[in-house]
Every structure is written in C-alpha cells, then in structure tokens.
Structure 1
C-alpha cells in the first residue's frame, strides 16, 4: 500500500501546533517526521493530532531544545533512538511500520557559525555526529529503510542560492559535504528528492533574517529524504511545500514530501 511521508523542522511543536494541524488537514501525509520540537515528549500536544487520525507517535524530546517525533496514522513501533556523538541531545528516533519499513528521523547539529572545530565546539559536534552515523552504517548496513530529517547540510551546488558565496559558510563547506556523502555511501542511501527532481535550484530553508525571504530567495536544501537501495525505486512524487514558509509565524523550514509504493 502506498504511503506518503513528510519531514519538517517545525521550530517548536507547541508554538506552531496550529501549523502542524493545518499541514495535516491540507496535505494529509500518512507519516510526519518533525525536528526541533523543543518539547519534552509528554508536553507534545496530542489532542488535535488524534482528532485528525494521527494516533501513533514515537518521539525523543527535551525542554526547549532539539527533539524529534514521528507522527503517524499508520501503526508503528519504536525501532531505535541513538545518541550519536554522545551529546545527550534528542536528535534521533526510528520507527518500524507494519510493512517492515524502518523510518529514521534525524536532526543533525547545525554546527554554529564558524566552520572550524578548533575554535567552534558546535562544528566539531556536527562532524562527530556524522562520523558516528557513517560508522554505524558501515557496521550494520541498513535495508528497507528511509532516513529523513533536517540534516543541516546542503550538499549540491544547486542546493544553495550561491555555491561560490557559501563555500565557507556552515552547511555548505567542503568538509561537511564530504561527511554527508560518506554517510550516504556507508548506508547505501539514495537521495529520493533529487532522484525525482534532478535538476535546478531546490531549497527547503530560508533565513528569518531576510526581510522578504521569498523575493530574496537565498535558500538552502537542508531537509532530506533518503531510502536504501532496495526500496529507493519505490519513492516518487517528491516536492517541497515552499508556500508553507509563508504561513503566519512560520518555521524557517518548509516541509519535504515523498510517496513510497511499498
């Protein structure tokens, strides 16, 4: 049975509860993966979700920071929750659907402002997170799996508004892209979004700092949908819901969707 999945950095699930419910009403994905929930799990508002038929959830949370959740109208069970780089952060949770597909939801550290781990601990944490993720996939190669989330890296030249100007900006530096590609290679992951939309500029994030983000269009593709090689061909209908970035009091990220015939 086909199912549609969405991934979205919501930047506070409690502050933007109504935006989550609007997305679910208007787009009706079967599974919604949220990052940066900024809430303990027991404080995530569930009443509205349940009223719309989203009665299943696995999540990891903490007060005010980070946090990941997989919300679903399809039955699922928790499959894993790892603390990569031993940061003590709620950045990963995984769930298994009844068809056996495992969905991994990641919120990779943003990395701070300076792309040098010697002077910026946050950048080092980001690289360590990706290194441990790569090593985990080398040790236990995934199958029948989907990985989504705010990975905080725009890997391709056309994933940013200006490759040249962003080469020394965190999220598009060569060392981050190298780590990103090593994680993909280690797990045998395919980029479902770019398989569907192979050419052209494509963004999922626009800074709050831009007075008119839409006109300036200085975006980056930080949010990703991957699948393992054994099911990648089942993914299709990828899209970024850019208009959601323009909703009232929005997240700075837009949701990314894909459908899987599994």
Structure 2
C-alpha cells in the first residue's frame, strides 16, 4: 500500500493551524510529521485536522517550545519517545503503522549562535543529543523504519547556499556534519531526499531575517527524510514545496515529501 509522508517544522501549530489545514487539503499526505509545535498535546487544534481525515495522532508537547506530532490518516499506534541528553524537551515521538513501519519524528536542538560548546551551552546540548541518538541506533539497529524531522544540520556542500561562508555557522560546521553522519551511519539510514534528488542545491529553510528570502535564496536543507535499507528502495517522488515558505505568515521551513510503496 503506497503512502505519502511529509515533514514540516511548523513553528507553532496553533498559530499556523490554517497553514497546516491548507497543506492537508492541497497535498493530502497520508502522514504529516510536525516539529516545533510549541503546544501541549491537549491544545493541538485537532478538530479541523480530524475533519480533514487525520484521525490519528501521536505527539509530545510542551508549552511554548519544541514539540513533535505525527498526524495520520492511517491507523497508527505510539511506540515511544526518547529524551536524548536528558534535556526534558519534547523532541522525539515514534509511531507505527499497521504495515509494521515505524516512523520516528525528531526535532534536533538548533544549537544556538556560537559553534563552541565552551561558551555556548546550547551547542554542547546539540552535540550530546546527536551522540545519544547515534548510540541508541547503534545499540538497537532499526528495521523497517523511517526517520524524519528538523535535524537542524545541512550536511552536504550543496545543502547550503554557500559552503565556504557557512563552515563556521551553526548548522553546517564540520563537527555537526560529523555527528550527524555518525548518527546516520549507526542506524544505517539512507537519505531518501538525496537518493531521489542526488544533484544540485536543495533547501528547506530560509531565514526570516532576509528581506526577500526568495530572491536572496540563502537557504539550507535542515529537514530530512531517512529510511532503513530494507525499505529505502520503496521510496520515490521526493520533493520540497518551496512555495509554502511564501504563504502568508509562514514558517521559515518548507515541507519535505516522499512516497513509499509498502
């Protein structure tokens, strides 16, 4: 049974309820994974989403910060969450579909402004979070699984608008790229987006600070879809809906899609 999955850092699901509903109507993904929901679970505005067919949800939330949710048209049961680096943050949730596929939804810490853990606690937390993700996947190797989310790292040179200019900017520093690579390797994860779109500049995030984000096009690919090798060949049709970044009062992220024939 084919299903289409989307991942989107929504930057407040309550503030942007209308945008989520619009995406649901226009794209009708079977599964929509949201990050940075900034809401307790009980206050996620599910009435409209359920009316659009998204009758299943697994989520972790907290007031005003972080938060992850998986909204699904397909039956799904929660299979746990992890608090990596013991931050006490709502940054991970996992759900399992009836076909046995487990979907992990992550919101990795952004890491602050300075890429130096000696002066920036948030950067150290980010590295520690990734290290514990790596160790978890190494100890419990995933199978028949998909990992999505805002991983807050653009790993490849063509995942950013300027590799040289961003080497010392949080999200593209060599140490972050190394940590993300180790995490990916530990779970034997396949980068589905780049499997489908192997060449060329590709972004999913554009800063609010840019006066004209579209013309400046100083983007980064921070949002990812990975899959384990046993199902990676079933994935296709990856794309990023860049135009969503231009909707009224948008998130600074665009949704990323992939379809799996499973």
The within-5 A match list for 1:110-259 is 110-259=110-259
Match of 1:27 in 2: 27
Distance 1:232 1:184 in 2: 14
RMSD: 0.3
Match of 1:79 in 2: 79
Match of 1:12 in 2: 12
The within-5 A match list for 1:89-128 is 89-128=89-128
CA-CA distance at 1:80 after TM superposition: 1.2
Q: TM-score, normalised by structure 2?
A: 1.00
Query: How many residues of Structure 1 are paired with residues of Structure 2 in the alignment?
Result: 262
SS of the residue aligned with 2:3? strand
Q: Deviations over 1:118-147 (max 9, x none)?
A: 000000000000000000011000000000
Distance 1:248 1:199 in 2: 30
Q: Deviations over 1:4-44 (max 9, x none)?
A: 00000000000000000000000000000000000000000
SS of the residue aligned with 1:148? strand
SS of the residue aligned with 1:4? strand
Misfit runs of 4+, over 3 Å: none
Distance 1:194 1:152 in 2: 16
Q: Deviations over 1:169-225 (max 9, x none)?
A: 000000000000000100000000000000000000000000000000000000000
Distance 1:43 1:259 in 2: 30
Distance 1:84 1:55 in 2: 29
Unaligned runs of 5+ in 1: none
SS of the residue aligned with 1:184? helix
